[in-house]
Structure 1
C-alpha cells in the first residue's frame, strides 16, 4: 500500500474516531491532532486531522486554535488532561474537556480532544479512553507501515543495506507484526460485543413486546367502552398513554425487523401494490407525528401508474419511515412525496423543509441508533433507527437510496425499487 493510500485509509479511521467520540458525549464535540504517514516535520502531530460536532470546518479550526496549547502539553507529557472548555465551544463544552494522548509503545503521535455538553459519567470517560487507545494503535500502525515502506525503498535504491538499516527494518517489521496481532484482538473483541448486543436487543424486544401489547389492548378497550365514570381528563391521559405505547411498540418492531434482516429471517412476500393507496396510508399514519404543527403533506403521482407487484408491507414501511422522519424534523412548511414508474422500477422521493443535516451527520446517519439531535434534552424523539431500517429494507429488495441534506434547509431522499409489472 502506498503512503497516499495509507493516508486516505487512516483519515477515514480518524474521522470515525472523532464522530464516535462526539456521539458518546451526547451532543459534544471532538478534535484529533496527529502526525500522518510521510509527515516528518516537528509540528506534524499538532495538525488538526479530524473533527466532529461542529457546523463547519471554520468552527472546528477556531476551536482547534483555542485548544492547541493544551493539546501540546498533553503531547509533551503523554498524560490525559481534564480542563474547563474555552468559551468558543459553547454548549458543546459545558461539561468540560478531556485531552487524551495517542500513544503506543512510548511513542506519542497525536491527541484526541473531547468536549462534553454535560459532566459525563465515569463509564463515558472509560469509553472515550478505550476509543483513544484504539485510535492510537491504528495511527501508530500506519506511521510504522509508512516508515517501513520508505526504508525498504531506500535499501532497494542502494541495492545493499548496511547492518544498521537491516536491524532497523527488522525492528519495524516486528513492531508492525505485534500491532497486527493487537488489531486482530481488538476486532475479535468488537465482534463478540456486537453479537452480545444483537442477542440482548432481540431478547429484550421480544420480552417487552408481549406486555406492551396487553397494555395497549387494555387502553383501547377502556376508551372504546361507554364508561361515564371516566372523566374527560382521564380519557385524555389514556389517549396520550396509547400514543406513547404505540410509538414504543413501533420502535420495538423496527428493532426486531433489523435483527431479522441480519439473521436473514425477514422473508420477501410479493403482492399487488397500488402506490396511490400505499402513499395515502403512509400519510395517514404520520398525522400523529405532525400533531398541531403547521406542516402540510402533498403527494405527486406521475401517470400512468398501474398496479404492480412488490413486497407491499416493506414498501409501505419504507414510505412511512421516510415520511415520519420528515414530519418529525419539520416545524413548518411542506413535505412532498413523489412517485413514478419507469419500466420495472418504482421511484419515490420525499422532500422536506425541516432542520436538515450537516456533513458530519451525513457520514453516520445510517448507523444504528445514531441521532442528528442526540443531546439529553433533544426535542426530536426517536431511537435513531428509521434510516437504518430503510437502507436495510432497500438492500433486501435490491433497491437503491440517495440522500441530500443541508442544515437549516431540509432533506431530500430518493429511492428506487425493482417491481414486477402486472399483465
Structure 2
C-alpha cells in the first residue's frame, strides 16, 4: 500500500501553485513506494515540510507512506516513530534502530531514519524499515534514494521561492534589478538540480543492474563447472578403478561433500535473490508431510553418522494430507534440520508437527550449543553468524536461516526461535495449508 497522507483536492482549473503541489505529492508517493521495494518489500515513511515552510516542526509532518495495510496504519507508525524522526532532524544524522514491534514482519530487519538535507537545507526525513538487515547494495540504494529525494524537495522549495519572488515583482516597480538577479540565480540553481536528479536516478538504476548482472553471472559461470566437477567425482567413485587407494577415495568423497555444499550455498543465494525480486513462484500441490520429513532426515544422514545424536519424530497421528508448495517445504525442513545437526554435537533433535485450523505447525528442537539472547534477533539476517570463538568450527555461509525465513514469509507463514546457551534451541514455524484428507 502506497499513499499520500495529505492529498490535494482535484480541481478542474488548477493554479500553477496547485499543480506544483500535486506534482510534488505524486513524486513523494512514488519515492516512498520505490524505497519500500528497494529494501525487499519493507516499509517507508516520508516526513517533509511543504514548499515555503521551514523548521523541524514542519519537517516532521508525514507526507507519504508505502508498505502499510492502510493509511491509518501508516499514521499510527508515524506517530510511534516521531521521537526518532525529530532526533534525526535535530542532529542532522542518520538514526539506526532495531526491529520495532509496531511495524510487524516487514520491519524485523531494523529501522533507519535518514534526514533529507540538500546544501545544508533541512527538508524532512525518510524512514525505512526492512524485513531483513540491509546488505551493502541495499545501503547504497537507500543512500541514492535519500540523495534524490533531498534534491527533489529542495527543488520544490526553490521553485516556490522563485514563484513568490515573481509575484512580488509583478506587484512592485520592475526596476528592482536585484530581485531579477536573484530569480536568475535561482533559475540557474534549479537547472543544476534537474541535472543532479537525473544523475541520482541513473545511479540507482546502475546499482540495480550491477547486482542483477552479478547474480546472473554467478549462476551461470559457477554452477555449470561445479556441476561438472561433482559429476566427474561421482563417476570416478562409482567406477571400477582399483588403482585408487582408500585414502584417495576418502579425499574424493570429501571433495564431493564440499562441492555439493558449495552448490547448495550458491543455490541459496540465487533463491534469496529471486524471492527479493518476486521471481520465485509458489506452486501448490499435494504433500505427504511425513514422507517429506523422512527425506530431509535421509539427506542429512552422512552428517548425523559418527555423532552420538538421535533424531526423533513426533508427528500428529494420523497426519492429514495437505496441499502447499512441496519444494519449499522440503527446502525449509532440510535447512532447519541441517542447522540443528550442525550445532548439536551430541544429544537429540526432535521434530514435532500438527495441522490445526488450516495451518501447519512445526517445531524443531535440539540439545545443541544454543544461541545467546543478543544474537537471536539477528540469526535470520543474511550472512549473519554468531560471533564467538566456537563458531569457527561450524561450516556455513550464514544463509540457511535467512532463506528459511524468506521462504516461510513467501508462503505467508511465521517463524520464531527460543534458545538458551548450552541448553539448545527450538525453532517454531507455521504456514497456511489446504487440508485434503
* Residue 203 in structure 1 maps to residue 217 in structure 2: yes
The residue that corresponds to 1:320 in the other structure is 334
* Cα distance in 1 between the residues matched to 2:248 and 2:352: 41
Alignment equivalent of 1:346, drawn from 354, 360, 377 = 360
Q: How does 1:351-390 map to 2 (within 5 A)?
A: 351-373=365-387, 378-390=392-404
* Cα distance in 1 between the residues matched to 2:336 and 2:84: 33
Matched position secondary structure for 1:230: coil
Q: How many residues align?
A: 280
Contact 2:385 2:391 in 1 (8 A): no
Bigger radius of gyration among the two: 2
User: 1:386-411 deviations in whole A, cap 9, x for unaligned?
Assistant: 11111111121111112222233222
* Residue 264 in structure 1 maps to residue 275 in structure 2: no
User: 1:3-61 deviations in whole A, cap 9, x for unaligned?
Assistant: 98455569xxxxxxxxxxxxxxxxxxxxxxxx99999xxxxxxxxx9999xxxxxxxxx
Alignment equivalent of 1:332, drawn from 335, 346, 352 = 346
Structure-1-length-normalised TM-score: 0.56
Aligned-residue offset at 1:265: 2.0
Aligned-residue offset at 1:238: 0.8
Contact 1:400 1:415 in 2 (8 A): yes
Aligned-residue offset at 1:307: 1.5
* Cα distance in 1 between the residues matched to 2:322 and 2:379: 31
Aligned-residue offset at 1:377: 7.5
The residue that corresponds to 1:282 in the other structure is 296
* Residue 308 in structure 1 maps to residue 322 in structure 2: yes
* Residue 413 in structure 1 maps to residue 427 in structure 2: yes
Aligned-residue offset at 1:187: 12
Q: How does 1:21-420 map to 2 (within 5 A)?
A: 193=207, 196-373=210-387, 378-420=392-434
Aligned-residue offset at 1:206: 2.6
* Cα distance in 2 between the residues matched to 1:257 and 1:36: 36
Segments of 5+ residues of structure 2 without an aligned counterpart are: 1-59, 62-78, 99-118, 121-135, 147-195
* Cα distance in 1 between the residues matched to 2:389 and 2:220: 28
Structure-2-length-normalised TM-score: 0.54
Aligned-residue offset at 1:200: 1.6
Matched position secondary structure for 1:378: helix
Instruction: Label 1:334 to 1:279 Cα distance change in 2 as closer, same or farther (>3 A).
Output: same
Aligned-residue offset at 1:189: 7.0
Contact 1:373 1:380 in 2 (8 A): no
Aligned-residue offset at 1:282: 0.8
The residue that corresponds to 2:183 in the other structure is none
